[in-house]
Structure 1
């Protein structure tokens, strides 16, 4: 079957007429000559107008090349500024505490507070292990504390132990800390409350600089410490170095819970820490 649209290769090619002369083009008017240029100019003008309109709607972009605006001074702080005022500025030292004064934490790098009264030399350590003394009782006249002292250690998770809840009026001495009266910070803690009610250190937050604390020892010596400062710090940012760091004299730390009680975890959010220095000894 033959494709009727295919070229016929057997037919001779057509021969153009000899000496054919093309017809001359007709003459254009001046308007016809200028029309293409006008059309192109009109098109470019329309495109330019559209681009100008779009740029006017776009947000300004600061490329850093222009002059910087100067912010006007604000004499009156905004609400947010007032709420955040002092949020990240902690005192450079532990506060003295006192009646109706809120307890606040100091900077983590702040040292223990300075002694409220002249300090006395520490009690030398016993030369023999069998003669090692231990604290037996603590008395704090201002808040009516008269408590026996037991021993506490640190758990596997690094948490300082506390006296048993079955003995809410007992305090605990950290056995790896110095004996009260010796060089260094002696640590004694106690509960602020139990499910049955207030515990031994329920009123610890009432102490203030200058108040006196008495610790009795098994070797018959009695030590008197004078409060130099008190703070309430979050447990998530506990001032470990300030509380447990070495000192050149005899100091005492009393610790209990404070802040808000979390009924889910059964823990308080903060700790209250009392700092005191040895001011008298006898026996």
Structure 2
């Protein structure tokens, strides 16, 4: 018997603001939620400084070539965007079952991610919480805390069913920030997320892409999944000095491959 996908907290975040018919072929609940999913920017607004060697991938002329139907593996193959209707990349290694969500409201409120480690790019950072502002934009960690990441509190706790979203700055006025080397990740790399309940989750990268902020793949990043998945997001591409902002986003997709605790 096929198990029914579990609903993630993201699917329950905005029940009163559903917009039917936004995306053909998607259930009414997911349609509304995806249409209202916050843009993930990593906070590249006023105050950010350009990296010394920012990524040079530009996709402004994406219409000049045919976008692939899948997200690429990253690494030496480079970062390119996939078609907006492309699904998240397939798991690079066998996955494990999601961690059951706490049964009580108190336990749910206390359970959160606390630290993220990515050995390949030497990330060892605390995880704070971010949410959306009145304009619907996803918040980011304070610019004064270069090494802090932000977990979108209405996405699942990492390890539970659904896509958990964590963002972080690529740079600040002081220089490279926590996700400065995120674009170096590739299929098969490991990401460890530690939780407040003592559980440790290991995610394996399944794909990575660079996308224009004007064509952010909302469905691919926020769309519900039956397994436990992770999305890491930061800025990339060309730095617009006038707007104090990078033009693109780097998005890492990963699946739960090990858990303990």
Q: Considering the TM-score relative to the shorter chain, is it more than 0.5?
A: yes
State the match for 2:85 in structure 1: 109
Runs of 4+ in 1 over 4 A off after TM superposition: none
| Structure having the higher Rg | 1
* Cα distance in 2, alignment partners of residues 88 and 242 from structure 1: 21
* Cα distance in 2, alignment partners of residues 86 and 188 from structure 1: 29
Which secondary structure does the structure 1 equivalent of 2:100 belong to? coil
Which secondary structure does the structure 1 equivalent of 2:75 belong to? coil
Higher relative contact order (CA 8 A, sep 6+): 2
* Cα distance in 1, alignment partners of residues 83 and 176 from structure 2: 30
* Cα distance in 1, alignment partners of residues 62 and 191 from structure 2: 36
Superposed CA offset, 1:38-93 (max 9, x none): xxxxxxxxxxxxxxxxxxxxxxxxxxxxxxxxxxxxxxxxxxxxxx8972410100
- 1:89-168 maps to which residues of 2 (within 5 A)? 89-99=66-76, 101-132=77-108, 133-168=111-146
**Structure 1 pair 274/160, CA: closer, same or farther in 2 (3 Å)?**
same
2:194 pairs with 1:216: yes
Q: RMSD across aligned C-alpha pairs, in angstroms?
A: 1.2
User: Structure 1 regions of 5+ residues with no counterpart?
Assistant: 1-83
User: Structure 2 regions of 5+ residues with no counterpart?
Assistant: 1-60
Q: Identify which of 170, 191, 205 aligns with 2:169.
A: 191
Which secondary structure does the structure 2 equivalent of 1:154 belong to? coil
The aligned length equals 199
State the match for 1:246 in structure 2: 224
2:228 pairs with 1:273: no
* Cα distance in 1, alignment partners of residues 67 and 233 from structure 2: 20
* Cα distance in 2, alignment partners of residues 278 and 256 from structure 1: 20
**Structure 1 pair 85/109, CA: closer, same or farther in 2 (3 Å)?**
closer
- 1:252-263 maps to which residues of 2 (within 5 A)? 252-263=230-241
TM-score, structure 1 as length reference:
0.69
State the match for 1:49 in structure 2: none
